[in-house]
Amino acid sequence: MTPGPSLQELFEQGRPASGSVEIDQVLGSLHEAFGLEPSPPVTVGRYAVAGRLGAGGLGIVYRAFDPSLRRFVAIKVLKAGKETAELDVRLLREAQVLARIRHPHVVEVFDVGFFADHGQQRFFVAMELVEGTDVRRWLATGPDRAAICEAFVAAAQGLAAAHDAGLLHRDFKPSNVLMSHEGAVKVADFGLAAVTQELRAEAGTAAWSAPEGNATLSWRPGGTPHYMSPEQQRAEPLTPASDQYGFCVSLYEALYDRRPFEGPDRDALLAAKERGPALPPSPLATRPLRALLQRGLQVRPEDRFASMQQLEQALRVAAAPRRRVWPWVAMGAGVSVGAVLMATAPSPAEPSEASSCPPPPPQLQPATAETPTLTSVLAASPPLAEAWPALAESLAAYGDELRRRWDGSCSLPPPARARVQRCLSECGDGLGALRELFGRGDREALARAWTLVAGLPDVHACTPEPEGRERGVVAAATERARLLVAAGDLEGARRVLETLRTYVATYAIERAARHVEIELAEIDAMQGQVDAARERLERVYFEAASDGDTPAAARSAVRLVSLGQHTGDLPAARQWSRTAQTQLERVQPRDYDLEAVLWHNLAIATMVAGDLPEALATIERAVEHATAPGMAAPLRRTTEQARAELLLLNGRPAEALRIHTERLHTRDAPPQRDAMTAVVDLQSLGNTLTTLHDLDGALSAYREAHRLGASVLGDDHPHTVGACISLAWAEGERGDPAAGQRRLAPCLARMVEQLGPDHPHVSVARAMDGRLASLAGDHPDALRQLKGAIEVLERNFGESHYAVGDLLHELGRAQARAGDPAAAQATLHRALEVRRAALPPGHVNRGETLAALGRLQLEHGDPSEGREHLARAIEIFEARGLPEAYIEEHRAALRRPGEQPPP
């Protein structure tokens, strides 16, 4: 036996401390349990310890109260030790890097410092309190593959964010990934193990030996051996790929329910890692996931993924279900609605009832939506009748899926089963509401049928997890509210939302509550209570922004933009759009849907205010976001449609036409397109073709628009009325103006009835009537109509609005036809001024006015100026792709007598 300290001395040296924060805290709770006296509060720095959360390799984590900011935080008190000055600096530096990372999937660091604990200096870190569990414990509850992948993707994003900031984790393992009650995933304990590693490397000892020099007990620095990368086990320098390794070991465990590498000691463990993991097929570990693990667990770091981002991408792809059985994704209906970013809600603990499986409720039973009312509506409208079978089939398939999942849920344990079944019931309620809507023959609903069907709750969200992402109840209720809104039952929708709000309040989920408030504001706005809506949204915004709830802050800001647009308050819309932009930049992962909606709404607002080029630039941004891969089709479509409109308004009709043919397929009948959408598209196409002087094309587009509108939406629907007016006008233009006027009259009357005599749309319609009158030779009537219309528009929009320019142009032409060239020229000069002010250079309509004026001037005015104008007009037409035949007409006028046209 070697000489050394006696056991007595060894035990003396090795005696554990009799006083520490940990002991104080336990004593405190024992005093409480058994004794009388309140123990003095245990404090760590300024923080008051309120309970113990858990222990880790670095120290114990407490729940503590920060009296300065009046909030609860998590405090990790690192184990006592004699710190040297270097140690302080290093620790602080690591904590500083960590504090720089603000990411939803990284536990936020608030404060670091030293405090005196029974005469010893100890280091603490104050962090975001995540109340819930950790992934290690969560995995023990047996989540399904999708949930596992979702959690790991989130953790990967957190790791990637840290890598971006220059920090390695060094000790990634499931117990270091926290999961809040709401299912938020946050990676914790970054880099804290780094300190020890660096120190040991510097001290030059990988093994620590006994004071007497006997190399007996030794251990390696940092990290938990099973999760350590081979390079870490060998005490080699670490890279981000080393974190990938730990991540993949954790993922392996999650999918296979056992560790990838085992060994009786570290050397054996390392050898096992060098041999590589066994990757047999298994229910949870699909082939793509196995391939991912294969790569992430490569022995050499350079053979793994190039970055954590790449791994995350690969995981996302690998996790996606192979077959898209269910094409519907929960999405709102309508133009101004963005994707629902639902916060998750935990389900109330269900008492385990009788173990027998209840039968599916009535709304899940097979049913048909067809009723006598619906049958007659379909009979009266061939387009609807044509679309109906496919719709009915979709509804039936959705119901079948619900029933199938209900039966499948019977094999789950009672609490999980109850969760799934409640979610499925909610979906069934949505289905029932939709069936009822159709059954009533509601035309608006039928006209937007496919959009509404796409809005049915996502069945995939009905998962059995107790913690983690249960979106089912909240999302389903929100979708049901939207269906009610679609049905026009605003009060019913409001009730559903208010009930939902109580539910989320009961479970104290701030974030879901905010989204419900946003929906309620939408209803306020629809009911005309604009101020109430604005107040609600602003309140949500400020709470969410101060809380760091960026999704809710972004959504409420975007809604405020559209509110501004609806109320014509462009400055407010612009201001909120800047705010929304800032918030959207912080949302992780990027919410492209919502960004697209933001730009879309802002573009409309800008357009209405008359700044056409700005509006076009803005809609381009929306299209950029909405056409990102994976974006929902209805949103993509809506923004493309708006873009086509804006291109047209910006005087670029050929480009607008291209969108119609290539993107919107306006003339074809793509399956599953809402009649409503089709009507709008066709109208827009007609306008485009008119601008391109393709009157035949325009006519057939308007005709189709009107036919669809009349048979699907009814004669009185604003879209139908608009199409009616366009059609009448086009027919008059093409053939018999007087007949056109006769057709137009009743449509105009209906419009006046609906909008009132001074509405701008009415003025535009009157101007069209005036033009027909002019063509028919009824000049006094024409001039009167046009002048009256101009007056109304000037009053509404000011003198320099593009719509005013349009009408001035028509007035000039009418005056010319009426045989008053002087007045015509004066008017056209004015029109040109307005158009120059309101429209961007190169706009087709500037060309039109230049051409009209030029032609007049050639004969009745200053010919040289006229030639200039005409030449310029021709340039514009050529640049804008107007038909050759049309341009040739103008060129002919420009040619002097005797000149030959070009071959």
Partner 1 sequence: MSWDPRTTDEALHRAWREGDPSAADRLVDRYGPGLYNFFASKVAGEADELCRRTLAECAAEAGAVEPSGSPRSLRALLFAAARRQLLGSLGEPGGAPLDPGERSVADLVPDASEMMAAHAHQRRLQLALRQLPLDAQVALELRFWEDLSVAELATVLGVEVSTVAEHLASAQRRLQAQLDAERELTDFTVDALMTEHERRRR
Catalytic residues: 171
Per CB under 8 A, 896 contacts partner 1: no
Distance from C-alpha of 95 to C-alpha of 860, rounded to nearest angstrom: 83
Q: What angle do CA 573, 579, 580 make, to 5 degrees?
A: 80
Nearer to partner 1, 225 or 881 (CB): 225
* 83 or 799: CB nearest partner 1: 83
Using CB under 8 A, which of the segments 63-71, 190-198, 557-565, 576-584 binds partner 1? 190-198
CA 871 to chain centre: 48
Which ranges constitute the DSSP H helices of 323-381?
372-380
Q: How far is the CB of 203 from partner 1 (least distance, A)?
A: 5
2 binds partner 1, rule: CB under 8 A: yes
Residues between 122 and 141 that touch partner 1 (CB under 8 A): 123
Distance in angstroms (rounded) separating the CA atoms of residues 170 and 222: 8
Task: By CB under 8 A, tell whether 174 contacts partner 1.
Answer: no
Under rule CB under 8 A, how many of the chain's residues touch partner 1?
Answer: 69
| Cα(767)–Cα(667) distance, integer angstroms | 28
Is 29 one of the binding residues for partner 1 (CB under 8 A)? yes
145 to 257, 285, 410, 853: CA distances (angstroms): 12, 8, 19, 71
Task: Tell me the two tokens of residue 706.
Answer: 């009107």
Q: DSSP 3-state helix, strand, coil percentages of the chain (rounded to 5)?
A: 65, 5, 30
Single out the residue of 45, 104, 221, 338 in contact with partner 1 (rule: CB under 8 A).
Answer: 221
Q: Which long-range contacts (CB under 8 A, 24 or more apart) does 496-500 make?
A: 497/523, 500/474
- 205-231 b/e (C-beta count within 10 Å ≥ 16 → b): eeeeeeeeeeeeeeebbbbebbbbbbb
Distance CA(639)–CA(619), nearest Å, equals 7
Interface residue with partner 1, options 42, 49, 74, 78 (CB under 8 A): 78
Q: Site mask, partner 1, residues 237-276, x = CB under 8 A?
A: ---------------------------xxx----------
Q: How far apart are CA 177 and CA 247, in angstroms?
A: 10
Q: Report in angstroms how near the CB of residue 66 gets to partner 1 at its nearest.
A: 23
Report whether 103 contacts 154 (CB < 8 A). no
Whole-Å CA distances, 225 to 203, 237, 238 = 21, 16, 15
Shortest spacing between CB 310 and partner 1, in angstroms:
29
Q: How far apart are CA 140 and CA 144, in angstroms?
A: 11
**Nearest distance from C-beta of residue 330 to partner 1, angstroms:** 40
Residue whose CB is less far from partner 1, 268 or 317: 268
Peptide bond into 288 cis (omega under 30): no
- In whole angstroms, give the CA distance from residue 89 to residue 181: 35
Stretch that binds partner 1, among 207-215, 282-290, 599-607, 892-900 (CB under 8 A): 207-215
Residue carrying structure tokens 């992962």 = 589
Count Cα neighbours of 827 within 13 Å in the Cβ-side half-sphere.
24
- 15 is a contact residue toward partner 1 (CB under 8 A): yes
Residue 199 interacting with partner 1 (CB under 8 A): yes
Stretch that binds partner 1, among 75-83, 248-256, 349-357, 498-506 (CB under 8 A): 75-83
Among 73, 80, 452, 481, binds partner 1 (CB under 8 A): 80
- Report how far residue 811's alpha carbon sits from residue 638's, in angstroms, rounded to the nearest whole number: 34
* By CB under 8 A, residue 100 contacts partner 1: no
In angstroms, the CA 803 to CA 795 distance is 12
Position 81, amino acid: G
Residue 121 CB, nearest approach to partner 1 (Å): 11
Residue type, 375: T
Nearest approach in angstroms of CB 180 to partner 1 is 20
Q: CA-to-CA distance for 76 and 54, rounded, in angstroms?
A: 9
Stretch that binds partner 1, among 11-19, 340-348, 419-427, 611-619 (CB under 8 A): 11-19
Q: Pick out residues in 152-171 that bind partner 1 (CB under 8 A).
A: 171
* 16 in contact with partner 1 (CB under 8 A): yes
Give the residue among 675, 674, 600, 706 at the shortest CA–CA distance from 644. 600
Measured from the CB atom, the residue of 264 and 898 that comes closer to partner 1 is: 264
- Give 5 or 488: the residue with its C-beta nearer to partner 1: 5
Q: Which of 203, 320, 749, 837 binds partner 1 (CB under 8 A)?
A: 203
Q: Which stretch binds partner 1 (CB under 8 A): 194-202, 507-515, 527-535, 679-687?
A: 194-202
Q: Which is nearer to partner 1, 86 or 393 (CB)?
A: 86
Classify residue 543 as exposed, middle or buried by CB count within 10 Å of its CB (0-12, 13-18, 19+): middle
Beta strand 71-78 with 43-44 is unpaired
- Judge whether 798 and 759 are in contact, CB under 8 Å: no
Q: Which stretch binds partner 1 (CB under 8 A): 74-82, 358-366, 557-565, 769-777?
A: 74-82
Among 45, 132, 191, 222, binds partner 1 (CB under 8 A): 222
Comparison of 227 and 541: residue with beta carbon closer to partner 1: 227
Least separation in angstroms between CB 8 and partner 1: 7
For the bound state, the minimum distance from the C-beta of residue 89 to partner 1, rounded and expressed in Å, comes to: 13
- Residues 211, 389, 819, 902: which binds partner 1 (CB under 8 A)? 211
Select 211 or 372, whichever has its Cβ closest to partner 1: 211
Cα–Cα distance measured from residue 90 to residue 79, given in angstroms and rounded to the nearest whole number:
16
Give min distance, CB of 83 to partner 1, in A.
7
C-beta closer to partner 1: residue 26 or 508? 26
Nearer to partner 1, 3 or 902 (CB): 3
Q: Binding segment for partner 1 among 73-81, 340-348, 379-387, 567-575 (CB under 8 A)?
A: 73-81
Q: Please select the residue that binds partner 1; options are 14, 671, 780, 898, rule is CB under 8 A.
A: 14
Largest interatomic CA distance in the chain: 128
SS (H, E, C) 205-257: CCCCCCCCCCCCCCCCCCCCHHHCCHHHHCCCCCCHHHHHHHHHHHHHHHHHC
Nearest distance, CB of residue 496 and partner 1, angstroms: 44
Q: Based on CB atoms, which residue is closest to partner 1, 7 or 885?
A: 7
CB closer to partner 1, 147 vs 177:
177
Among positions 70, 82, 258, 323, the unique one binding partner 1 when judged by CB under 8 A: 82
Query: Taking CB under 8 A as the rule, does residue 196 contact partner 1?
Result: yes
7 interacts with partner 1 by CB under 8 A: yes
Question: What does R_g of the chain's alpha carbons equal in angstroms?
Answer: 35
Closest approach, Cβ 140 to partner 1, in A, equals 13
Cα 733–chain centre separation = 45
Q: Would you list the DSSP string of 339-377?
A: ---PPP-PPPPPP---SSPPPPPGGGS------HHHHHH
C-beta of 353: minimal distance to partner 1 in Å?
Answer: 29
Q: Which sign, positive or negative, has the C-alpha torsion 837, 840, 846, 850?
A: positive
Q: Which of 182, 126, 191 is nearest to 159 (CA)?
A: 191
Region 33-72 residues binding partner 1, contact defined as CB under 8 A = 33-37, 52, 54-59
Report the candidate in 109, 112, 120 with the shortest Cα–Cα distance to residue 80: 120
Pick the closer one to partner 1 by CB: 167 or 423: 167
Q: How far is the CB of 49 from partner 1 (least distance, A)?
A: 13
- Which stretches of the chain bind partner 1, using CB under 8 A? 1-2, 4, 7-8, 10-16, 18-19, 22-23, 26-27, 29-31, 33-37, 52, 54-59, 78-84, 87, 91, 123, 171, 192-193, 195-196, 199, 203, 205, 207-208, 210-211, 214-219, 221-225, 264-266
